[in-house]
Structure 1
Amino acid sequence: MTSDSAASSRPTNPSDRIDAIDVLRGIALFGVMAINLVMEFRVSIFEQFLGPKTFASPIDRVIDAILSQAVELKAFALFSLLFGAGLAIQFDRLATSERRTVLLVRRLAVLLVFGIIHLCLIWNGDILTEYALAGFIVLPLLFGPRWLLTLAALMFLALYLAMQDFPPAGLFPSRAAIWRDVMDANRIYATGGFLDVAAFRLRELALIAPLHAFVFLRTIGLFLVGALAWRSGIVQNTRGLFAIALAAISLGAGFFGVTEPLGTIALALGYGAAILGIASFERGKQLLGWAAPLGRMAFTNYVAQSIIFGWIFYGYGLGLFARLGITEALAVGIAVYVGQVLFSAWWLRHYRYGPLEWLWRSLMYGVRQPMLATGRARAA
């Protein structure tokens, strides 16, 4: 084996692990995009509650099965784990700052404002608002020891599991209300102008809020699991045989062991361990490195997807709502995702942060952050 080959098969230094997290975030964004596109932008999110799905072709059926079994809630669970880990990373990095609490509260408050704007003006499938609210609950717990994070995570996840079997009475709308909403969505989203779509989007919030309430406890629990994974060093040291073992155990439990909803969490952990493990090697980093810029700009790319897909599917744009099959819609999504991969790489060669990441950071610190990449800043 040559020296180059030996070097490429060794794990990267722990100081480089943030790159691996960016890779994981960028890949997870594809799963989130695919589910949002196929199940919420393409058709009404409530159509799935009205009975068996109909498919335009056999390949649509196959893709739907893959997305439902391997991606759907798993991508969102993985994103929640990453957000919790990211919050813990910010918390620990600000350990020597007297303004740590103020800065992190401001960070979550700014995210909440972004989320509400996104929810009301761009797309009511927004996840940012839920994440900000969950972050406010998790933040005080980060001051505690690891055993407290463990206990709190177990408690919130146990409450979530109990809620699956005993949902609060009256939480979900009636079938008649859902049917009326789907009929209105097929008409307004497909043909309405921007103001028509915005007004209907706001009316739908009463039906969408229970869906967020149903998974809110899980979101908090996964935030805590992500924070615990960072605090315990699992994220930093998920490499080599340990990564393979952790991924195999989690994926095996998810696919063949525990049932839903624990299977969803197990699969998310397995996906995360596998990708972090691959990205910890030089060759793996080269193989998956394309996703790192996308992950660094995940906030910008997430909101941009909402804007782009809104224009493609709603009446104020191309009006393709309820007109595309799963395969056609996913092909559109893949094209948008590839475009974002290329754009993110180009952007970060010139600038330090994505546009929304820069704005978020500037508002968090209350100071305009430098935007140009270091080399360009020196040249200027």
Structure 2
Amino acid sequence: MTGGRIGSRTAPGSDAPPTPMSPSERLDSIDVLRGLALFGVLAMNIVTIFRVSFFAAFLPNAEPAGLLDRAVAGVLTVAVDFKALALFSLLFGVGLAIQFERLAGNARRMILLVRRLVALLAIGLVHLYLIWNGDILVEYALAGFVVLPFLGAPRRLMAGAALLLLGLYVTMLVLPPIVPLPGAAEMAALAADAARAYGTGGFFDVLAFRIREVPVIFPVHVLIFPRTVALFLVGAFAWRSGVVRRTSANRRLLFVVATFGILLGGGLSLAAAGHELFDWSSLGRAHIPVEQLGAVVLALGYAAAVIAAVNLSGGRKMLSWAAPVGRMAFTNYLAQSVICGWIFYGYGLGQFGRLGVAATLGIGILVYVAQVVFSAWWLRRYRFGPVEWLWRSCMYGVPQRMRATVNLAIIRTTRAV
């Protein structure tokens, strides 16, 4: 969720504290892509882990009953599931590389980046235990610590490490898990307990069950951790290679990656979905790595397509609305958890387990549209989202200037003209 910025505000060799880039120095394509990815993350989170138990998907008869719900679930599975999170991981890697580059020459560069990840870890732990246990921030912070030593390494080493980790991830998918998930009977019991705690319990009932559930979900994080680190490295490599920052010179490459990624990734995702839809049991567990590889390839295709589109005048006009919500992705991600918790848990509207996939996605779309409007309104007045401000202030060790006085003056001048 690190912002897309270019340049450096710290002179080489200087120990002066750096400051964040102004909005005018940001890469719109990164913000737009992050804003779009945020919708995908919300769509999958709200129809799965917020709507029903995390373990419901592992149980028999987990498919939605109605035709519309099955259709919506199928589209989300093929086009969005795992892809949005993969996009977020790629973008986080890009952000780390940008931060590393713009702090070049500062003697405290690694200290500042470690402080940034420590602050992310602290916010993530609060989110994980007090708000929602589907948190990705803790994993991102830990993966960031692994990636930091690679940021100054040769690009070949970064690419090799990414391929090695992706290979490890695919291998882990077909082998017995290092840390096994609960058995079917325990999953069924956890799903039933979740329905009671989340659906009817008060805040402290929900908190108690969430604390109980976190260690049970831990094996999933162990499984996907290599993929997260690998995608961070791919994102950092994309920035270091110049593909992301020099899009005009790389339009042909972006077009090839977009076409190849969407066609191949979409095909692999369809093939994996076909295993579930048509019960191709003879394939065994082979569909799992196919599905996950398809998600990574399709995410790369999405990223290349959006970046290329934003750097065309027509595409920029069509997608510019997503930039503000992407600039405030950290704030919006946490706000989604708070809002969805209030909608689905017993201390709010108590809709846990009561809504179908289509109705739940409709709620998610309304939440996202509200965030798009709010983000645009907020960033006309302030430089950062509230959580982004806190994160940057913790990193730099001093409160950052919040009011967007310069930007408002520019806007007023432009309107007057």
Task: Give per-residue Cα distances to partners, 1:294-328, cap 9 Å, x unaligned.
Answer: 00000000000000000000000000000010111
- Give the match for residue 184 of structure 1: 193
Amino acid at match of 2:254: A
How many angstroms does 1:190 deviate by?
Answer: 0.5
Contact 2:44 2:81 (C-alpha < 8 Å) held by counterparts? yes
Distance 1:253 1:376 in 2: 43
Name the structure 2 match of 1:349: 380
Q: 1:153 to 1:117 in 2, by over 3 A?
A: same
Match of 1:80 in 2: 89
- Alpha-carbon RMSD across the aligned residues, in angstroms, is 1.7
- One-letter amino acid matched to 1:46: F
Choose which of 60, 83, 102 in structure 2 pairs with 1:93.
Answer: 102
For residue 66 of structure 2, the aligned residue among 29, 35, 57 is 57
Cα deviation, 1:272-297, whole Å, max 9, x if unaligned, reads 00111111112211110000000000
- Deviates further, 294-303 or 260-269: 260-269
Whole-Å separation in 1 of the counterparts to 2:408 and 2:314: 31
Q: Which residue of 2 aligns with 1:9?
A: none
8 Å CA contact 1:43–1:321 kept in 2: the answer is: yes
Mapped contact 1:17–1:280 kept (Cα < 8 A): no
Q: Aligned match of 2:153 in 128, 135, 144?
A: 144
1:236 is paired with a residue whose SS is coil
Contact in 1 for aligned 2:268/2:293 (Cα 8 Å): no
1:237 paired residue number: 246
| Offset, 1:52 | 3.2
**Counterpart check, 1:278 vs 2:329:** no
Instruction: Kindly report which structure 2 residues correspond to 1:107-122, keeping only aligned pairs within 5 A, or say none.
Output: 107-122=116-131
For 1:170 and 1:245, how far apart are their aligned partners in 2?
39
Bigger mean CA offset, 304-313 vs 274-283 = 274-283
1:249 aligns with 2:260: yes
Paired with 1:120 and 1:76, the residues of 2 have a C-alpha distance of: 20
Give the distance between the partners of 2:396 and 2:314, measured in 1 at CA.
37
Equivalent residue number for residue 363 of structure 1: 394
Structure 2 segments unaligned to the other structure (5+ residues): 1-23, 270-289, 411-417
Deviation string, structure 1 residues 220-272 (Cα, Å, up to 9, x no partner): 00000000011001112345443222100111111235933211110000000
**How far apart, in 1, do the equivalents of 2:247 and 2:207 lie?**
44
Residue 17 (structure 1) shift: 6.8
Aligned residue type for 1:242: L
Structure 2: distance between partners of 1:355 and 1:370: 12
Q: Which residue of 2 aligns with 1:123?
A: 132
Partner of 1:261, secondary structure, is: helix
Q: Is the 2:177–2:223 Cα contact (8 Å) retained in structure 1?
A: no
Identity in percent:
56
Partners of 2:215 and 2:60 in 1: CA distance: 21
Give, as a single letter, the amino acid of the residue that structure 1 aligns with 2:70: R
Determine which structure has greater relative contact order: mean sequence separation of CA pairs < 8 Å that are 6+ residues apart, divided by chain length. 1
* Equivalent residues of 2:380, 2:408 under 8 A apart: no
Residues 1:222 and 1:376: Cα distance change in structure 2 (over 3 Å): closer
**SS of alignment partner, residue 260 of structure 1:** helix
Q: TM-score, normalised by structure 2?
A: 0.85
Deviates further, 319-328 or 152-161: 152-161
Farther off after superposition, 48-57 or 245-254: 48-57
Instruction: State the partner residue of 1:3.
Output: none
Counterparts of 1:223 and 1:117 in 2: how far apart (Å)? Answer: 23
Equivalent residue number for residue 80 of structure 2:
71
Letter in 2 for 1:248: T
1:322 pairs, out of 327, 333, 353, with: 353
SS at match of 2:348: coil
Distance 1:143 1:242 in 2: 25
Contact kept in structure 1, 2:90 and 2:232, CA below 8 Å: yes
1:91–1:104 contact (8 Å) kept in structure 2 = yes
- Given that 2:383 and 2:402 are in contact with CA atoms closer than 8 Å, whether structure 1 keeps it comes out as yes
* Structure 1 contact 30–337 (Cα < 8 Å) conserved: yes
Q: Which letter maps to 1:250? A: G
- For 1:252, give the aligned amino acid: L
Does residue 1:195 correspond to 2:208, yes or no? no
Give the aligned partner of residue 335 of structure 2. 304
Counterpart of 1:172 in 2: which secondary structure? coil
Aligned partners of 1:238 and 1:273 also within 8 Å: no
Structure 1 regions of 5+ residues with no counterpart?
1-14
Q: Does the residue aligned with 1:213 lie in a helix, a strand or coil?
A: helix
Q: Decide whether aligned partners of structure 1 residues 362 and 267 sit closer, same or farther in structure 2, where only a CA change above 3 A counts.
A: same
2:230 is the counterpart of 1:221: yes
The Cα shift of 1:179 comes to 0.8
1:115, 1:129 within 8 Å by CA — same for their partners in 2? yes
Aligned amino acid, residue 281 of structure 1 = L
Tell me the equivalent position of 1:43. 52
SS in 1 for 2:182: coil
Correspondence for 1:204: 213
CA deviations on 1:71-118 (whole Å, 9 max, x unpaired) are 001111111000011101100010121110000000000000000000
